[in-house]
Amino acid sequence: MAGVSREVARHNVTINGLLPGQFNTDRIEMLIGNTARAQNISHDDARAQLEERNPTKRLGEIAEFGFACAWLCSAHSGFVTGQNILLDGGFYNSTL
């Protein structure tokens, strides 16, 4: 991606990636429910376990992903190209 993005940048084309972590979605709710049943704990306790693993101590909100996507697709990010942007609350403990 980085190589191609540098080839087309002069044509005002940007290529970037959004790498989402765990967001508060129906899919995550289903996984929380599965965990609760498998561990014989409450839904709230299973959610708390999941949230505890993230440095922010919460799941991402869908609107946060939407705002990041809208910004990255806008003219305001025209100088950003060839990047992968992690949206994971700091969960991935490294750099790309």
pLDDT bin (cut points 50, 70, 90) of residue 96 is low
Global pTM?
Answer: 0.83
Look at residue 42 in the predicted model and tell me its pLDDT: 98
- pLDDT (average), residues 51-74: 97
Within 10 angstroms of residue 50's Cβ, the number of other Cβ atoms is 16
- pLDDT (average), residues 6-26: 95
- Find the length of the chain: 96
Separation of alpha carbons 82 and 1, rounded Å: 6
pLDDT bin (cut points 50, 70, 90) of residue 65 is very high
Minimal CA–CA distance to 16: which of 66, 91, 73, 95?
73
pLDDT bin (cut points 50, 70, 90) of residue 51 is very high
